[in-house]
């Protein structure tokens, strides 16, 4: 059973802005019955370019309905230019997170918004640019390479599983999986994997207080780091902790060691990121 947040369930059981706008000046219709997800978004934009009303109709599951409801709440009152900046990740965040395998519902919401804005701006073809540009990679769900690249870039997707979670591509017969792998490889070959984004966390971990963070840093250094350094005759001392920056000074054989920088980043910083917070940065304070 999907682990939905209370907010997702609320938007499902009590959807906001469900319906149609008779005199809408932008309509976006995306998805298909074959896929099991379809969303029709109506927007009303005034002469100043502000979205004064938005309504939706959805054929889809709990996540699809909740995503559409959340989206309308997010865009009402925004200018078209600001609405263009809304991302699918923001939709998921607004709902307190969606199960990873349901992220494609937030992507659908984003696509409906883009389609509605395009419609408002005069493009009446109803065809998404990437449908024209790209070639179909996933035949089962009709997903183009252009779409896979765009969603992967926007959401920092590194695995085929995630591409499936966000676009459905590869989720049926699976014959396009090698091609998805190739696309991902081409996309990311020059960039290392960045820090993990926590946008789709289903349960928000309570934030640590400063005191708790400092204590945890100290504990981790005592437990994981200092014993290892001491084995090689070295040591480390915490000079100060400011926010996420831990200032340390090397002691013993570590001072003047050629590998101290490697130790700093790949051992000390890595350990603190693992046990305390992925945002920790370690800086050496050289003391004369």
Partner 1 sequence: MEKETSKRIVYVDNNATTSIASEVRDAMMPYFNDKYANPSSMHTFGGCLSKDIEAAREKVARIIGASTQEIVFTSCGTESDNAAIFGTLSSYPDRKHVITTRIEHPAVLICGEYLQRHGYDVTFLSVDSYGRIDPEELTKSMRKDTVLVSIMWANNEVGNIYPIEELGRIVKSFDSVFHVDAVQAAGKIPINLKNSSVDLLSLSGHKLHAPKGVGVLYIKRGTRFRPYIMGGHQERGRRAGTENVPYIVGLGVACELAMKNINDENTRVKSMRDYLEKRILDEIPSAYLNGDPINRLPNTTNISFEFIEGEAILLMLDRAGICASSGSACTSGSLEPSHVLRAMGVPFTRAHGSIRFSLSRYNTMDEMDYILEHLKPAVKRLREMSPGVESFAK
Query: Any idea which residues carry the catalytic annotation?
Result: 35, 105
H or E stretch covering 53: strand 51-59
Q: Considering only the C-alpha atoms of the chain, give the largest distance between any 2 of them, rounded to a whole number of Å.
A: 77
CB of 8 to partner 1, least distance (A): 10
**DSSP string computed for 250-261:** EEETTTT-TTHH
Give least dist CB 142 to partner 1, A: 13
Query: Among candidates 122, 41, 124, which has minimal Cα distance to 86?
Result: 41
Give me the 162-181 binding string for partner 1, x by CB under 8 A, dash otherwise. --x---x--xx---------
Instruction: Specify the 3-state DSSP secondary structure of 208.
Output: coil
Using the minimum distance from each CB to partner 1, give the nearer residue, 88 or 164: 164
26, 60, 109, 234: which one binds partner 1 (CB under 8 A)? 60
Q: CA-to-CA distance for 169 and 105, rounded, in angstroms?
A: 13
d(CA 266, CA 283): 12
Angle at 208 between CA 204 and CA 210, to 5 degrees: 155
Angle at which helices 160-167 and 145-155 cross, to 10°: 100
Q: Which is nearer to partner 1, 140 or 216 (CB)?
A: 140
Residue 61 found at the interface with partner 1 (CB under 8 A): yes
Closest approach, Cβ 184 to partner 1, in A, equals 18
Query: With binding defined as CB under 8 A, does residue 110 bind partner 1?
Result: no
Q: Report the first-to-last Cα separation within the chain, whole angstroms.
A: 60
Residues 126-155 that bind partner 1 (CB under 8 A): 140-141
**Pairing relationship of beta strands 281-284 and 245-252 according to DSSP bridges:** parallel
58 binding partner 1? (CB under 8 A): yes
Query: Rounded to the nearest whole angstrom, what is the least distance from the CB of residue 66 to partner 1 in the complex?
Result: 10
Nearer to partner 1, 12 or 120 (CB): 12
Asked if 40 contacts 29 with a C-beta cutoff of 8 angstroms, the reply is yes
Distance between CA atoms of residues 139 and 133, nearest Å: 16
- For 103, the enclosing helix (H) or strand (E) is helix 103-120
CB of 287 to partner 1, least distance (A): 58
Nearest residue (CB) to partner 1, 39 versus 51:
39
Region binding partner 1 by CB under 8 A among candidate stretches 55-63, 143-151, 221-229, 273-281:
55-63
Q: Of 7-46, which residues contact partner 1 (CB under 8 A)?
A: 9-10, 12-15, 18, 29, 32-36, 38-40
Binding site for partner 1 (CB under 8 A): 2, 9-10, 12-15, 18, 29, 32-36, 38-40, 57-65, 140-141, 164, 168, 171-172
């Amino acid at each position: 059973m999907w682990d939905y947040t209370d907010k997702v369930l609320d938007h499902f059981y009590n959807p906001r802005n469900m319906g149609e706008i008779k005199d809408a000046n932008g309509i976006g219709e995306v998805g298909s019955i074959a896929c099991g997800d379809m969303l029709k978004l109506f927007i009303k934009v005034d002469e100043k370019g502000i979205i004064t009303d938005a309504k939706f109709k959805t054929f889809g599951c709990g996540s699809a309905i909740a995503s559409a409801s959340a989206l309308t709440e997010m865009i009402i009152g925004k200018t078209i230019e600001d609405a263009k900046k809304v991302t699918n990740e923001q939709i998921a965040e607004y709902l307190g997170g969606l199960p990873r395998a349901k992220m494609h519902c937030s992507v659908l919401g984003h696509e409906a918004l883009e389609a509605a804005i395009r419609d408002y701006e005069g493009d009446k073809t109803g065809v998404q640019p990437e449908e024209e540009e790209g070639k179909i990679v996933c035949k089962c769900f009709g997903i183009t390479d252009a779409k896979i690249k765009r969603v992967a870039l926007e959401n920092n997707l590194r695995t085929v599983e995630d591409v499936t979670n966000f676009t459905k591509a590869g989720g049926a017969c699976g014959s396009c999986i090698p091609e998805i792998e190739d696309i991902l490889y081409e996309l990311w070959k020059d960039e290392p994997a960045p820090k993990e984004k926590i946008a789709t966390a289903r349960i928000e971990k309570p934030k640590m207080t400063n005191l708790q963070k400092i204590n945890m840093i100290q504990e981790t250094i005592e437990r994981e780091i200092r014993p290892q350094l001491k084995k090689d005759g070295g040591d480390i001392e915490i000079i100060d902790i400011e926010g996420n920056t831990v200032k340390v000074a090397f002691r013993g054989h570590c001072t003047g060691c050629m590998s101290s920088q490697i130790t700093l980043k790949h051992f000390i910083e890595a350990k603190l990121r693992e046990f305390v917070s992925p945002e920790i940065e370690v800086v050496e304070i050289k003391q004369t």
